[in-house]
Amino acid sequence: MDWVALIAGSLLLLFCLAQLALWTSQSMGRQLSERSYWQLQQQLLSAKIAAIQTQSSSALAPAQSVATETAHSETTVAWRGWRTFQIKKLVRETASTTSVYLTPQDGLDLPDYRPGQFLTLKAILPNQTAPQIRCYSLSSAPQKSYYRITVKDIHGQASDSGGVSHCINWHWAVGDTIELKAPGGDFYLELSQREPAILLAGGVGITPLMSMIESVLQRGDRRDLLLFYGVRNSGEHIFRDRLKELASQHANFNVLNCYSHPGSQDVAGRDYHIQGRVSLELLKRALPSPDFDFYLCGPGAFMAGLHQQLTDWGVPVGRIHYEAFGPATVVPTPHPIQQEPIVRSSDNGSASTRVQFARTGKTIDWNGQHDNLLEASLAAGVPLSSGCRAGQCGACQTKLLRGDVHYPGAQPMDVAAGHCLPCIAVPRENSVGDEEIVLDA
């Protein structure tokens, strides 16, 4: 009996070992084939980039990497609410763009953030009493002692119309203090991944991508990064020297500069590689296939155009990552969203939901003409504060006095009880169909 049990046990053990060996060899085979696929993609990518750069000039061709290993840890520790920061340094990047280095007044170490995320900032402009809230992408790799943002003056130097970006460029001084919320946002590069990333920037949209580039290279990662950077000419070429320096130091980082209107002093090969815009035709020339992850940031037309062209080329929407804060950078209908029912006009043409603004005494019909309650309220002349317009900074948070809302396109961050975020909220239809929303605005 003992012999039978011993033989049966041995056979069972042998069977288990055979299964384990089979699973291990299949898993290793899968990993090896995935690795060789990406190695092949990287070789093809490098050859294509080299060909394009050679056509222009060898001035910006990459040299041997001298990356240094830097300790890095991702933490989620941050602060809640506002924290006071001081302007430590201001660096003019172009005639209308300034980098601002911000250090915490309490002197404590700063939490890491994910490269691509943004800061929410509260500033009081000269001759104003109400604070203005804006969101700006962090433009460097995470540092323990400072955050850096890079801001373009969208109002123009000669303008006296004010505006936060204008104030930052022309009125802020070293030593000034401002209030910041902790970094946030869903647009970031996952540093644990190793697949090549294709970065597409237009104008000041380079800022979150610069943070991605510096983060990968500062860690000494060998992940391939290819940046297509579109600007008008060298006068608007933000981080020109820094990008050129990084490309010369890191073999895994390449840049293709596209000038739509080169100036008389701009030299092909030295300043730019392509005369024209970042386009699908250029991407097809430079990439061996659409089988990459794409990260986009730039003006609205740049984003919307490239997003459409990439999807037409066959890039799955899940592999197209984009900055979505601010009205200028939102891509229309980028993802198929599972929509909950949105209140629409009833069959007889009359609206079934009314939105009341208690403070201003205004009332509007919610008829589906607007994407969210913030748009509807601004169109009605009800002034609501806003920052990110993506449900992430809390600037638009408003007390909901009656009724209910829902968030069909994005999940809000923290929302205080009894409040809502109008920038991403729409009225929730009740079972009867009639509803009334009352906002404390």
Please report, as ranges, the residues that interact with ligand FES according to CB under 6 A: 386-389, 391-396, 421, 423
In the complex, what is the shortest distance from the CB of residue 387 to ligand FES, in angstroms, rounded to a whole number?
4
Identity of the residue, 181 or 428, whose beta carbon is nearer to ligand FES in the bound complex: 181
- Segment holding 122, helix H or strand E: strand 118-123
Q: Are 349 and 323 in contact (CB under 8 A)?
A: no
Structure tokens at 223: 């992940």
Burial 225-255 (b: 16+ CB within 10 A, else e): bbbbbbbebbebbbbbeebbebbbbbbbbbb
Kind of pairing between the strands at 274-275 and 253-259: parallel
Largest distance between two CA atoms of the chain: 99
Nearest residue (CB) to ligand FES, 203 versus 391: 391
Three-state secondary-structure class, residue 282: helix
For residue 205, what is the DSSP state?
A: G
Q: How far apart are CA 429 and CA 299, in angstroms?
A: 34
> Tokens 């288990």 map to which residue?
16
Task: Kindly state the smallest distance separating residue 201's Cβ from ligand FES, in Å.
Answer: 23
Query: How far apart are the C-alpha atoms of 397 and 107, rounded to whole Å?
Result: 30
The minimum distance between CB 391 and ligand FES, in angstroms, equals 5
Q: How far is the CB of 411 from ligand FES (least distance, A)?
A: 11
- DSSP state, 339? P
Supply the minimum distance, in Å, between the C-beta of residue 130 and ligand FES: 15
Nearer to ligand FES, 256 or 425 (CB): 425
CA angle 149, 150, 153 (to 5 degrees): 130
d(CA 351, CA 365): 6
Nearer to ligand FES among residue 182 and residue 225 (C-beta) = 182
**Closest CB to ligand FES among residues 256, 331:** 331
Q: How far apart are CA 230 and CA 277, in angstroms?
A: 6
Sort strands 426-427 and 405-406 into parallel, antiparallel or unpaired. antiparallel
Least CB distance to ligand FES at residue 20 (A): 51
The C-alpha atoms of residue 3 and residue 10 are separated, in whole angstroms, by 10
205: Cβ contacts below 8 Å, ≥ 6 apart:
296, 297, 298, 299, 302, 303, 323, 329
Shortest Å distance, C-beta 300 to ligand FES: 17
Q: Which is nearer to ligand FES, 96 or 386 (CB)?
A: 386
> Measured from the CB of residue 408, what is the shortest distance to ligand FES in angstroms?
15
> Closest CB to ligand FES among 227 and 388?
388
Q: How far apart are CA 252 and CA 225, in angstroms?
A: 6
Q: How many CB atoms lie within 10 A of CB 8?
A: 10
Nearer to ligand FES, 274 or 423 (CB): 423
Nearer to ligand FES, 326 or 334 (CB): 326
Q: How many CA atoms lie less than 13 Å away from 120 in the CB half-sphere?
A: 26
To ligand FES, the closest distance from the beta carbon of 395 in angstroms equals 4
State the minimum distance, in angstroms, from the CB of residue 409 to ligand FES. Answer: 12
Tell the smallest beta-carbon distance from residue 81 to ligand FES (Å). 14
Q: Which is nearer to ligand FES, 327 or 332 (CB)?
A: 327
Spatial contact of 204 and 97, defined as CB atoms under 8 Å apart: yes
**Residue (of 115, 41, 143, 60) closest to 295 by Cα position:** 115
Residue 34, number of CB atoms within 10 A of its CB:
11
Nearer to ligand FES, 264 or 411 (CB): 411
